[in-house]
Amino acid sequence: MTADALSPELRAAAERFAAADSLLICLDFDGCVAELVADAYSARPVPVNAEAIRRLAPLKDVTLAYVSGRPLVDLQNQADPPEGTVLVGSHGAEKYLGPDSPGLKLTAAQEAARTEVVDVLEQIAGQHDGAWVEHKPAGAAIHVRHIDDDQAAEQVLNEARAALSAIDGAHAKEGKKILEAVVVLATKGEAIQELRELLKPAAVFFAGDDVTDEHGFAVLGDGDLGVKVGEGDTAAEFRIPEPAALAQVLNVVAEARESAQPRESTQPRH
């Protein structure tokens, strides 16, 4: 793990963020809380991140949220979030804010578009060793991480891009060794704004690693904190090198909140 990935500027920004009255901490999952791995279903939070998230969860006036491209059900199973965590899945199309949250309902037109997306992607994947299709509630994704030759993988994605562009109601989302098509238009930025309006936090944190996370960074403003994980162009103000470094940022926030609001003593009173 990175010894200390935090620049003095990022540490100071995390402390400033932690000093706000109430916090909304939004986290992308794959490539951010979890390392990217070949088997999409075996991705789990990096242990130090899971620990830092568990540390933040009980703190006063702190709301945790996963804001992910994953289906809600996979996010719940794989991220294993602490109780009370808000879950946004399918790039913003699915939301879990509590037991009363309505599930995602597709219109007939969206259902038809989703079926077409699945069929087209399955047909393409069937013609290329290593490609596979993830079926998702709001669409589907073709994965090429198992194809060793980068050029061959890109060709599969190009084929999928062309085929998807011919489907009415299908919207492509680029990612890492993946191309997704969603039939519900939503972005992580819209989801974060919705949470901001609902929860009215004094400051918002967002960390993410991928192109779809840029929508999230774009809605951050004064007093908020955005952290890009890894390489690539970004609108985020700060960058850390790898998922395991996220824990360092989260622990600075936890530390500052804990010292400002010490937990009740468990010692007997005299």
Q: Which residues contact ligand L263DTV3 by CB under 6 A?
A: 28-31, 36-38, 40, 43, 68-70, 134, 141, 143, 145, 175-178, 180, 210
Nearer to ligand L263DTV3 (CB atom), residue 187 or residue 251? 187
Nearer to ligand L263DTV3 (CB atom), residue 190 or residue 255? 190
Minimum distance from CB of 38 to ligand L263DTV3 (Å)? 6
- For 67, list phi and psi in degrees, rounded to 5: -125, 100
Minimum distance from CB of 85 to ligand L263DTV3 (Å)? 14
C-alpha span between 253 and 52 (Å, rounded): 9
C-alpha span between 212 and 4 (Å, rounded): 27
Nearer to ligand L263DTV3 (CB atom), residue 155 or residue 255? 155
Nearer to ligand L263DTV3 (CB atom), residue 18 or residue 46? 46
Minimum distance from CB of 75 to ligand L263DTV3 (Å)? 7
Through-space distance between the first and last CA atoms of the chain, rounded to whole angstroms:
44
C-alpha span between 18 and 23 (Å, rounded): 7
Nearer to ligand L263DTV3 (CB atom), residue 82 or residue 130? 130
User: Which tokens hold the place of 210?
Assistant: 């991928």
Minimum distance from CB of 90 to ligand L263DTV3 (Å)? 8
169 close to 113: Cβ distance less than 8 angstroms = yes
C-alpha span between 103 and 96 (Å, rounded): 8
CA distances from 230 to 2, 36, 46, 148, 207 (A): 12, 11, 15, 21, 11
Q: Which residue is nearest to ligand L263DTV3 (CB)?
A: 69
Nearer to ligand L263DTV3 (CB atom), residue 20 or residue 131? 131
Minimum distance from CB of 247 to ligand L263DTV3 (Å)? 17
Minimum distance from CB of 43 to ligand L263DTV3 (Å)? 4
Look at residues 160, 141, 164, 144 and name the one whose alpha carbon lies nearest to residue 152: 144
